[in-house]
């Protein structure tokens, strides 16, 4: 049993939205590891970060990704930072991994400058740029397919993935 496809990318790339639409198109379930962590903890990711720290969140995330990769047969969307963990990158080998690439301007527009995301405290635009600069090479290293999302609506992104993956 293995996920049909795994979506990775930064916040604002559309992983949750595209994941749900892709799963619907294929008639398979969608799963989001951020939602899994929130359900397990009974609180938002922002609260986990603030109350328990990033290291605790990353540990929960690593476990959620491992469990989902082993048990989920549909479309799996990973949190933006999940691929930073070497063990998670190892687990992704052999899976069809789609990197949803988004540019800085589009990511800022989608995430919003008044974001409640814990990694964006302070100057949202500069934090998103730093995260994109740091993480893009990691996303590219695990991806079997890269899809640019700038200027496309979610349905267009889904169509591109379906065409590429069959």
Q: How confident is the model at residue 46 (pLDDT cuts 50, 70, 90)?
A: confident
Using the CB atoms, write b or e for 12-31: b if 16+ within 10 Å: bbbbbbbbbbbbeebebebb
- State mean pLDDT over 101-130: 67
Looking at the chain, the whole-number percentage of residues with pLDDT higher than 70 is 89
- State mean pLDDT over 115-143: 76
pLDDT value at position 12? Answer: 79
Provide long-range contacts, Cβ within 8 A and 24+ apart, for 61-64: 61/33, 61/34, 61/37, 61/85, 61/88, 62/87, 62/88, 64/33, 64/36, 64/37, 64/40
Give how far Cα 159 sits from Cα of 10, 23, 162, 164, Å. Answer: 20, 12, 5, 9
pLDDT value at position 116? Answer: 55
pLDDT value at position 123? Answer: 66
- State mean pLDDT over 123-152: 87
Q: How confident is the model at residue 117 (pLDDT cuts 50, 70, 90)?
A: low
State the Cα–Cα distance between residues 166 and 163, nearest whole angstrom.
5
Q: What is the tens place of the pLDDT at every residue in 73-104?
A: 999 999 888 999 999 999 999 999 999 998 77
Q: What is the tens place of the pLDDT at every residue in 27-45?
A: 999 999 999 999 999 998 8
């Amino acid at each position: 049993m293995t996920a049909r496809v795994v979506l990775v990318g930064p916040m604002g790339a559309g992983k949750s939205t595209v994941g749900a639409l892709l799963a619907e198109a294929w008639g398979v379930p969608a799963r989001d590891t951020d939602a899994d962590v929130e359900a397990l903890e009974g609180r938002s990711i922002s609260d986990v970060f603030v109350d328990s720290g990033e290291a605790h969140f990353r540990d929960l995330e690593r476990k959620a990704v491992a469990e989902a990769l082993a048990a989920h047969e549909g479309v799996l969307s990973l949190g933006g930072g999940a691929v930073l963990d070497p063990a998670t990158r190892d687990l992704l080998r052999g899976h069809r991994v789609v990197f949803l690439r988004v540019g800085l301007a589009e990511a800022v527009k989608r995430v919003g400058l008044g974001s409640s995301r814990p990694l964006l405290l302070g100057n949202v635009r500069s934090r998103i740029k730093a995260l994109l600069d740091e993480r893009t090479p990691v996303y590219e290293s695990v991806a079997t397919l890269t899809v640019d999302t700038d200027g496309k609506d979610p349905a267009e992104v889904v169509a591109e993935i379906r065409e590429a993956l069959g």
